[in-house]
Amino acid sequence: MTSSDRAPQEAATSRLDDLGPRVASALVLGAFGLAVTIIGGPWIAGATGAAVVIMSYEWTRMSEPNSLSAAFAFCVIGALGAVMAASWSQYPLAFAIMAVFGVASSLRRRSLVQALETAGGVIYIGAPCVLFLALRGHEPEGAKIILGLFSIIWSADAAAYFGGKLIGGPKLVPNLSPAKTWSGFAAGALAGMAAAVAFAAVIGGPASLWAPVGAVLALVGLCGDLFESLLKRRFGVKDASRIIPGHGGVLDRIDGLMAATMTTSIALALTPTLWLSLLGLTP
């Protein structure tokens, strides 16, 4: 075999060299996420709280590595306190806790930009987690909505990864995230739409409504991933942490889900009958 023959094979191997750890981690985390979502109650609250602790560490590790202890204390108390309040369905209190600790922590910083980073970190971590619990708290519709979100975002993530790695092509935002391509972005959007249609068939919802919802949420999730890349570029780090083999940190793994959760919560709050329409029930 000549060197020219080996080159394509070596390139294909290098593009997928992290596939094994990535798939294994995704399967374990996916199974755990499905289990706690279906069980609900203190299980999903506890899992969300654990994620908040890890993400608070990851955020402060990136944004304030020289003041890690103080930054982590404010961030984790604000975000975790908000999740605890949300687990008791005290949502206004949850956002008040985030605001208080975010502002209090920001007073330690010397510039407006630094203060916004610090206060924003508490909101960035806490708000999606509070809204995630709020979505799940709607019985019996909440579990189905969360499972639909999982289906869309996980499918979009996987398709974007494989589309970008195997198809390649023009880069999406090369200065921000050199690995992401337009082919991956398109594959992710199509996969999210397909997953939404399949989920609609399972629960008896209208495919005509789930299809655009799936496409929009897939794009939102992919944009959430890009936003996380923007944050990491600003802080000069490659990954939020290395706690998840093949994925990096928890923030790296669920950035798309966080963005989609925020979007779904706002949409359902503005259009209350959308709950029933998505589930194929009469408003």
Domain boundaries, the chain: 43-137, 139-283
pLDDT of residue 10: 41
- The backbone torsions φ and ψ at residue 246, rounded to the nearest 5 degrees and listed phi first, read 85, -10
Euclidean distance between CA atoms 196 and 187, whole angstroms: 14
Contact 15, 166 (CB under 8 A): yes
- Grade residue 175 by pLDDT with cuts at 50, 70 and 90: confident
> What is the tens place of the pLDDT at every residue in 200-209?
999 999 999 9
pLDDT above 70 as % of the chain? 93
pLDDT of residue 283: 58
The sign of the CA dihedral 169, 172, 176, 180 is negative
- Grade residue 228 by pLDDT with cuts at 50, 70 and 90: very high
Residue 230 has pLDDT above 80, yes or no: yes
pLDDT of residue 164: 84
- Grade residue 278 by pLDDT with cuts at 50, 70 and 90: confident
> What is the tens place of the pLDDT at every residue in 182-221?
999 999 999 999 999 999 999 999 999 999 999 999 999 9
pLDDT of residue 12: 41
pLDDT of residue 244: 86
Torsion, Cα 240 242 246 247, to 10 degrees, reads -30
First to last CA, the chain: 66
Cβ neighbours of residue 220 closer than 8 Å, sequence gap 6 or more: 256, 259, 260, 263
pLDDT of residue 198: 97
Q: What is the pTM of this model?
A: 0.89
Contact 55, 250 (CB under 8 A): yes
